A = this chain, B = another copy of it.
């Protein structure tokens, strides 16, 4: 029995909820699926599906099996791709996920260059601050703040992600420049909302962490819009240094200095990481984009 074929049939039936629709996907008659899945059930000694002529239900054990089989089929596909693309030119679809702000400002311009170097790679870029589940599916490389989630994932530190406090000169003229961290609480705050909630303003004084956040006048997950609010003099904002270069150069925003410095997390190792599955580095398209991004971003 070709179990792999049976597993693919079974998976598709679970997904479509129908033998006929699943059969269309494989361009074979439904009778083939019926036979193969029946064989599979016989060899496992359990019913995976509860059939009637109108609906197909997945049994409890069928659902368990389906979830595990999904992972197995996915892994096999990836392994096959690794071998197939071995010592070939970088080709195919490459799915990249990135932090939204970083993506807009730094990644997309770089990818335009990348596209010229590797015209056979079809890019699929997803900008979002949500954590994509690297490894289980859907993404070849991801750019994230934070740290490696597990041992299968390689994390390359691309650059610092130091958050610095800034405000418009007019705002500081009007409200005064805060001399120490605790004065911030008398100011107005513009906050970046991460999936984990708005970023607080933290300060470590004598080994103890203090939240010195000012009352919020605006919270958003759009760093572009927040920047405009800050330029308009609505309040103080903490944002990654790399996202503020234009504003600081033009003088539209000024950096505020505190001693000790402010941060948005107790973790000192905040940085931008490039994540990919170790074993997938053998796939030329993955190797190409990793090498390219590391060379262009890290070594500056």
- Enumerate chain A interface residues (CB-CB to B < 8 A): 2-5, 44-46, 48, 61, 64-65, 68-69, 71-72, 75-76, 78-80, 82-84, 86-87, 150-151, 279, 282
Given contacts A61-B86, A75-B75, 8 further A-B contacts (CB under 8 A): A3-B4, A48-B83, A61-B83, A64-B82, A65-B83, A69-B79, A72-B72, A72-B79
Contact present for A79 and B68 (CB under 8 Å): yes
Residue of B nearest to A151 (CB): B150
Task: List the B side residues contacting A44 at CB < 8 Å.
Answer: 80, 83-84
* Complex A-B, nearest 7 residue pairs according to Cβ-Cβ distance, in ascending order: A68-B79, A2-B2, A44-B83, A61-B86, A4-B4, A46-B83, A65-B83
Given A72-B75, A150-B150, A282-B64, do A46 and B86 touch, yes or no (CB 8 Å)? yes
Q: How far is the CA of A282 from the CA of B64 in the complex (A)?
A: 9
* Interface of A: prevailing SS: helix
**What is the oligomeric copy number?**
2
26 residue pairs A–B, Cβ–Cβ below 8 Å = A2-B4, A2-B5, A4-B4, A44-B80, A44-B84, A45-B83, A46-B83, A46-B84, A46-B86, A46-B87, A61-B82, A61-B83, A61-B86, A61-B87, A61-B282, A64-B83, A65-B79, A65-B83, A68-B79, A68-B82, A71-B75, A72-B72, A72-B75, A72-B79, A75-B75, A150-B151
